[in-house]
Amino acid sequence: MLSKGKLKKDFHKNKYKYIMVIPVLIYLFLFCYKPMYGVIIAFQRYRPTLGIARSPWVGLDNFVRFFKDVNFWRVVRNTFTISFLSILFTFPAPILLALLLNEVRVSWFKRLVQTVTYLPHFIAMVVVCGLVNRFCQSDGLINDLIAFFGGERSNLLIKTNMFYPIYILSDIWKEVGWNSIIYLATLASIDQEQYEAARIDGAGRIQQMWYITLPGLLPTISMLLILRLGNILGVGQEKILLLYNEMTYEVADVISTFVYRKGLSDADYSYSTAIGLFDSIINIVFLVGANKISKKLGQSGLF
Amino acid sequence: MRREFLKRIFGVTLITALAMGTVACGSTDGTNTAEQSTVNVSEESSQTISTQESENSEEASADITYPLQDAEKLTLWATTPGIASIYSDYTESPYHMGLQENTGVEVEWTFPALGANWKESYNLLLTEDTLPDIIAYSINVSAAQLLAQDGVIYDLTDYIPKYAPDYWEYLNAEGNEAVLKAAKSEDGRIYGVRTSVETELNPTYIGPVIRQDWLDELNLEVPVTLVDWENVLVAFKEKYNAKLGFVKGKWNMGIASGVNAQAGLSAEYYVDADGKIQFANAQPEWKESLEVLHKWYEMGLIDQDSFTMNDDALRTKVLNNEIGVSITAMSQLTNWCLDAEKQNPGAVWVGMEYPRVAAGVPTSRIQGGNRSGSFVAVITKECTEEKMITALKWLNYGYTEDGFMYQNFGTEGTNYTLDSDGKPHWTDLMKNDPDGLEQAIIKYTGTYSSALGGIQSTDMVLIKNHETAAEAVYKWAQNTDNSKYLLPSLAMTDEESLVITDVATPIKAYVGEMALKYVLGEASLDDFDAFVAELDKMGLQKCLDAYQAAYDRYLAR
């Protein structure tokens, strides 16, 4: 910690930097801290017409209701499952793409692939999900393919076992190019002489990739992985909302979508706030945990 | 103001834009014609409406003359559908501007954004700092009572006889006892001006339809029982590869009547023969109806997309001859008939009766409701008392004879003409509207779907749709016990309302999910007892008790 005197000196020295940081602090206060007082309604039976001041207090009732809810285990389980699957499949995909692109020697082809893969990133989520929806209907594109190869037509969106593949694959399709940019940038900074030396030593393409490219990428990978772990419950709520339906709630309903339905559809504000608060607490536990582990492994932590 | 509002709900709109579904057909509504209100037409084409004086009322009822003079401007939030897809603003809409001219009251309208979920928009509206003067939405009496208790809206009980005389007269007219009961809260108060429908035919706007031309080709009769249905479906599938297809939101009671069940794919309460409230989805009949659906699903007789598609997707399938039987709404049937005439000559859609246990046996449940609509216009405390009175007078307009015609048919001469029997007919302006008659009705009239204060005319519904659809309604509503089982609009106490939020809402969600699992075979109907046990565990009895108590009080009133 800085002592008082040091802080003063530092302030004088970096006056403009401190001034520049003020808008950010105001932003954080207004949008992240000020709304926090609304958490109070998690302990109330909130009615918008009465406001926070007049709504009756109910203590921990809303939390007890959630723990007893038939959907409690389901939403917790689904949140973790989807998050885990994303880390397992969506996270390594851009690394693979970057490694492969790095091996392409024809520069126009490389550029073409790069452009084509990161274009989907700019398509709005509703549009992407609209496309997915159409493709997955029983007379949609995917079923046309299945039928062409002699399979049975079926509506993929109402099958519980198809939800995760649809979710993960469309995620990879949308974001793989965009997410690979950071890896490609890192690759560009790897010293070309290392490759030259390796080639002289007789290393093949695969060996070069394994012994030079991958180790070069490792610091970036581990940094991004820690950041991702700290946000373990942060699943793509918007996307799930657009892709799930009553038939797939069993596997697709996550904490955030449940909060959304309870809060906005059923107007059960207090209940949904309580669930949201529960969600935040789990997130904090994981963030602190991931930070501790990364420090133990000798990496630098976030705090 | 509208802008700001739009901005706020923009996020929600995005999310719901595709997942719409919930913006289902609003309830429709209306009764009352000339006999019930005394109307004197004065020379200047404005009207003087006087109420029937009740002998013991101390003060004479005020005469309301439209257009009202020197009326204050009002703000209003309503879910009138479709206007956003036609006009950028209410000021461009002939209906809204004509209403302003007829009533002499300037009204600033706001609507949920196009494609937004109405219920969510309404919930968000209530969290706003300033509310509009009038909110027109599906608010049940118990919710309205709560709003009044919280000091958000006016209790209009004492004002209605004087300032909404035509509405008051309508409520007290012979044959409207149920409508009056439905308008009153638990403590006998009236908190708003409710919409209603002219006859019991209006709420029956959904029912089964079939390809008549295929039936003829295959020499089959119109199916009556579910066994007949299955035979027809099998024949259709073999010959035409066509299936039973529908939009989940319009399934409603579905084929329930074929096995005397009381619910389609969603949670439903009903009154049994002993006057006891029962939960339809816990009954063996409901299980039976699901067994039939599951069997059909396994046999490939049901189009799999039925559970996810919307009206447009179904319409395409219908046009492509992929659907042979459906349960759909009049307006969709109208579309299908028009499509067939234009693009698929030979295809003949007709309405047919709901399935029966046997020919001649009344159907247990069909799509249908009470004559009192679910939509109500409430006046918020943003208004001064004087302004509230203006608003009430304005809302009364829909219940005057003039207002009834304007709300349903638009302006005489421009939008409709009356034949010698006094039956209205659309003018060419309406019939030849470039966007189609349906859109023309949204442009020029007010009761279609969920307008405010007024009575939806049965004639309007019938002439709005293709004649096939108009004929279908009579078949759908034929020989049914629906009204025996139907719950009236109940007024709940605060505690009972809490039970509904805490217990009935989760039960409803659970039933909705399980119903689909049973049909799709994700869950086995052999475990139906476990399902019922789970309902009990969730507190079903509490809900039944709450409904029963409210129902008993309803009967006693």
Tens digit of pLDDT per residue, chain B (557 long)? Answer: 444 444 444 434 333 333 333 333 333 333 333 323 323 333 333 333 333 333 334 344 556 888 888 888 999 998 876 677 788 888 888 998 999 999 999 999 988 887 788 888 898 898 888 899 999 998 888 889 989 988 999 999 999 999 999 999 999 998 888 889 889 888 889 999 998 888 888 889 999 999 999 999 999 999 999 999 999 999 999 999 999 999 998 998 999 999 999 999 999 999 999 999 999 999 999 999 999 999 999 999 999 999 988 899 999 999 999 999 999 999 899 999 999 999 988 899 999 999 999 999 999 999 988 888 788 999 999 999 999 999 999 999 989 989 999 999 999 999 999 988 888 999 999 989 988 888 888 888 887 655 676 888 888 888 888 889 999 999 999 899 998 999 988 888 888 988 888 899 999 999 999 999 999 998 999 999 999 999 999 999 999 999 999 999 989 87
User: What is the rounded distance in angstroms from the CA atom of residue A203 to the CA atom of residue A210?
Assistant: 10
Tokens of B251: 């399934």
Tokens of B483: 């009204």
Q: How far is CA B458 from CA A93, B31, B447, B473, in A?
A: 60, 8, 11, 11
Strand pairing of B323-329 and B243-244?
parallel
CB atoms A241 and B19 under 8 Å: yes
Mean pLDDT calculated for residue range A179-203: 89
Check CB contact of B146 with chain A, cutoff 8 Å. Answer: yes
pLDDT at A215 over 60: yes
Which chain B residues are closer than 8 Å to A241 by Cβ? 15, 19
| Chain B contact probe: residue of A131, A134, A139, A240 with most B CBs at under 10 A | A139
Tokens of B37: 């209100």
Q: How far apart are the first and last CA of chain A?
A: 13
pLDDT tens-place string over residues A152-167: 888 898 888 999 999 9
Quick check: is A52 in a domain?
no
User: What is the rounded distance in angstroms from the CA atom of residue A290 to the CA atom of residue A232?
Assistant: 10
Q: Tell me, what amino acid is at B446? A: G
CB atoms B308 and A157 under 8 Å: yes
| Chain A contact probe: residue of B125, B294, B513, B537 with most A CBs at under 10 A | B513
CB atoms B313 and A137 under 8 Å: yes
Q: What is the pLDDT of residue A121?
A: 93
User: What is the rounded distance in angstroms from the CA atom of residue B176 to the CA atom of residue B28?
Assistant: 17
Q: Which of residues A302 and B14 earns the better pLDDT score?
A: A302
Domain range annotation of chain B: 2-31+71-199+373-410+445-456, 206-368+466-485, 494-556
DSSP state of B46: -
- CB neighbour list of residue B130: distance below 8 Å, 6 or more residues apart: B382
Query: The domain spanning residue A159 has which CATH number?
Result: 1.10.3720.10
How sure is the predictor about A93, in pLDDT bands with cuts at 50, 70 and 90? very high
| Chain A contact probe: residue of B119, B129, B244, B305 with most A CBs at under 10 A | B305
Quick check: is A14 in a domain?
no
Placement of tokens 């084409």 in the chain: B45
Q: What share of chain B is helix, strand, coil (3-state, %, to 5)?
A: 45, 15, 40
Mean pLDDT calculated for residue range A203-231: 83
Sign of the Cα torsion A259, A263, A268, A272 reads positive
B positions 530-549 inside 8 Å of A (CB):
534, 538
Are B118 and B84 in contact by the 8 Å Cβ rule? The answer is no
* A126, A138, A246: residue with CB nearest B513: A246
pLDDT tens-place string over residues B32-86: 333 233 233 333 333 333 333 333 343 445 568 888 888 889 999 988 766 777 8
Which chain A residues are closer than 8 Å to B522 by Cβ? 160, 247, 250
Mean pLDDT calculated for residue range A58-66: 92
pLDDT at A105 over 80: yes
pLDDT at A138 over 50: yes
- The b-or-e profile of B212-226 (16+ CB within 10 A means b, else e) is bebbeeeeeeebbbb
Which chain A residues are closer than 8 Å to B123 by Cβ? 48, 264-265, 267
Number of domains in chain A: 1
Element at B444 (helix H, strand E): helix B437-444
* A49, A130, A241: residue with CB nearest B152: A49
CB atoms A155 and B308 under 8 Å: yes
B positions 291-320 inside 8 Å of A (CB):
303-305, 307-309, 313, 317
Query: Nearest residue on chain B to A50, judged by CA atoms?
Result: B150
In DSSP terms, which residues pair with B41 in a beta bridge? B47
Q: What is the pLDDT of residue A303?
A: 60
Q: What average pLDDT does chain A have?
A: 87
Mean pLDDT calculated for residue range A67-88: 91
CATH number, domain B2-31+71-199+373-410+445-456 = 3.40.190.10
DSSP state of A254: -
Check CB contact of A161 with chain B, cutoff 8 Å. Answer: no
B329 phi, psi to nearest 5 deg: -90, 160
A positions 163-202 inside 8 Å of B (CB):
none
Are B66 and B102 in contact by the 8 Å Cβ rule? The answer is yes
Quick check: is A159 in a domain?
yes
CB atoms B147 and A49 under 8 Å: yes
DSSP state of A5: H
Element at B108 (helix H, strand E): strand B107-110
* Closest CA relative to residue B497, chosen from B113, B222, B147, B192: B147
> Chains A and B: how many Cβ contacts under 8 Å?
91
How many CB atoms within 10 Å of residue B282?
A: 20
Placement of tokens 């969290």 in the chain: B127
Which chain A residues are closer than 8 Å to B147 by Cβ? 49
Q: What is the pLDDT of residue B111?
A: 87
Q: What is the pLDDT of residue B21?
A: 34
CB atoms B506 and A241 under 8 Å: no
A137-146, A184-193, A274-283, A291-300: least confidently modelled range: A291-300
Q: What is the pLDDT of residue B449?
A: 57
Mean pLDDT calculated for residue range A165-171: 94
Are B369 and B27 in contact by the 8 Å Cβ rule? The answer is yes
CATH number, domain B206-368+466-485 = 3.40.190.10
